């Protein structure tokens, strides 16, 4: 006789305890041992946002097929992927314009991972109150808008830009992710109207102390959810090919057209239109530098 099961969504994972939302009720469940014996390329068997079936013993019996996924290479095992969230509509890639210094290649890796996983990438630039000269902010907004990505310059200190950001969340399940110390916890406090522990920046290394220690899903309204995630120190791409990288940076070919070779990596090949455009100062230096950093690491 088949066992009775319910369907729910993973809200948070704290060790072996998995909080599941089902029919407006939260149940604390755990994975059946059979999941732990499975050998996969995943660091984490289950992720925030997963849709699951669980039985009367509060055992998760099945993880349903994921519609979307945000993942990175596991920093400790490059053959495994670390799933940051599943079944999400949008990823809000959250960085500070300074303190800590902004990492453009890391933003681009996030965007590429989001697009490959079926999510809509959105960029949030926090701490704009710290810069008098807004030229970098304006350049990044223009750069990413030109390739179809929305950018929200904000300040959690002055609240500038927060209303537009909040409005963009309506009707979606979104995940906020980014490095430590960029003000993500303060941002979530404002968006969710709740008080979370806010950490301080370590002046010595210019990286933030972790204030979110585990991922959690927060309901803002009946049809609007956000996922808060711990800050991360690195974001390496998992299962993204060189050709996919070239496709993402396809706008580099716009000034002078396509290169002679379809697989040109714009590094050493002859008749490279990107290298020629660089010589003629026709390319955005920020965009080109990010491409060169990412392609050289593959």
pLDDT value of position 144: 97
**288 burial via Cβ count (<10 Å: 0-12, 13-18, 19+):** middle
Q: Is the pLDDT of residue 290 over 90?
A: yes
Bridge partners, residue 255, by sequence: none
Q: What percent of the chain clears pLDDT 90, i.e. is strictly above it? A: 72
Report the mean per-residue pLDDT for the chain: 89
Report residue 232: phi and psi, to 5°: -120, 150
**Buried-state track 190-218, b at ≥16 Cβ within 10 A, e below 16:** ebeeeebeebebeeeeebbebbbeebbbb
pLDDT value of position 68: 98
Bridge partners, residue 87, by sequence: none
Report residue 222: phi and psi, to 5°: -60, -35
Q: Is the pLDDT of residue 20 over 70?
A: yes
Question: Residue 90 and residue 18: Cα distance in Å, rounded?
Answer: 23
What distances in angstroms separate CA 99 from CA 60, 207, 294, one per listed residue?
A: 42, 8, 23
Mean predicted confidence (pLDDT) in 250-257: 91
Q: Write the DSSP assignment of 19-44 as a string of letters.
A: EEEETTEEEEEEE-HHHHH---SBS-
Mean predicted confidence (pLDDT) in 135-149: 96
6-10, 184-188, 254-258 — which one is most confidently predicted on average? 6-10
Tell me how many helices (H) and strands (E) the chain has: 8, 15
Mean predicted confidence (pLDDT) in 142-169: 96
pLDDT value of position 278: 92
Query: pLDDT: is 37 or 291 the higher one?
Result: 291
pLDDT value of position 34: 78
10 Å Cβ neighbour count for 138?
Answer: 11
pLDDT value of position 94: 97
Mean predicted confidence (pLDDT) in 231-248: 93
Q: Is the pLDDT of residue 277 over 70?
A: yes
Q: How many CA atoms lie within 13 A of 71 on its CB side?
A: 26
Domains and CATH numbers, the chain: 5-64 (2.40.50.140), 85-228 (3.40.50.300), 242-297 (1.10.40.50)
pLDDT tier at 82 (50, 70, 90 boundaries)?
A: very high
pLDDT tier at 246 (50, 70, 90 boundaries)?
A: very high
Q: Is the pLDDT of residue 37 over 70?
A: no
Question: Residue 48 and residue 54: Cα distance in Å, rounded?
Answer: 15
Encoded tokens for 198: 């806010």
**Dmax (CA) of the chain:** 73
How many residues would you count in the chain?
298
Helices (H), the chain: 33-37, 104-116, 135-146, 162-169, 184-192, 242-248, 273-279, 285-297
pTM of the full structure: 0.89
């Amino acid at each position: 006789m088949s066992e009775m099961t319910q369907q729910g969504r993973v809200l948070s994972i704290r060790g072996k305890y998995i909080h599941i939302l089902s029919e407006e009720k939260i149940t604390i469940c755990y994975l059946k041992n059979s999941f732990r014996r499975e050998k996969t390329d995943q660091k984490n068997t289950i992720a925030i946002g997963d849709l699951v079936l669980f039985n009367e013993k509060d055992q998760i019996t099945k993880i349903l097929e994921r519609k979307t996924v945000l993942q990175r290479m596991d920093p400790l095992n490059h053959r495994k992927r670390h799933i940051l969230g599943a079944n999400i509509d949008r990823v809000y890639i959250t960085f500070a314009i300074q303190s800590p210094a902004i990492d453009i290649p890391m933003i681009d890796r996030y965007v590429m991972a989001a697009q490959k996983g079926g999510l809509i990438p959105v960029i949030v630039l926090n701490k704009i109150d710290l810069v008098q000269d807004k030229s970098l902010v304006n350049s990044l907004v223009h750069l990413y808008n030109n390739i179809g990505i929305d950018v929200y310059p904000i300040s959690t200190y002055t609240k500038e830009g927060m209303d537009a950001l909040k409005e963009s969340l309506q009707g979606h399940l979104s995940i906020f992710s980014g490095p430590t110390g960029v003000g993500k916890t303060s941002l979530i406090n404002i968006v969710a109207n709740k008080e979370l522990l806010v950490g301080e920046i370590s002046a010595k290394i210019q990286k933030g102390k972790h204030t979110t220690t585990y991922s959690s899903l927060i309901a803002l309204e009946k049809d609007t959810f956000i996922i808060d995630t711990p800050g991360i120190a690195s974001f390496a791409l998992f299962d993204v090919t060189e050709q996919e990288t070239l496709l993402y940076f396809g706008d580099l070919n716009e000034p002078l057209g396509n290169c002679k070779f379809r697989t040109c990596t714009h590094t050493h090949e002859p008749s490279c239109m990107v290298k020629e455009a660089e010589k003629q100062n026709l390319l955005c230096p920020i965009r080109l530098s990010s491409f060169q950093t990412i392609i050289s690491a593959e």
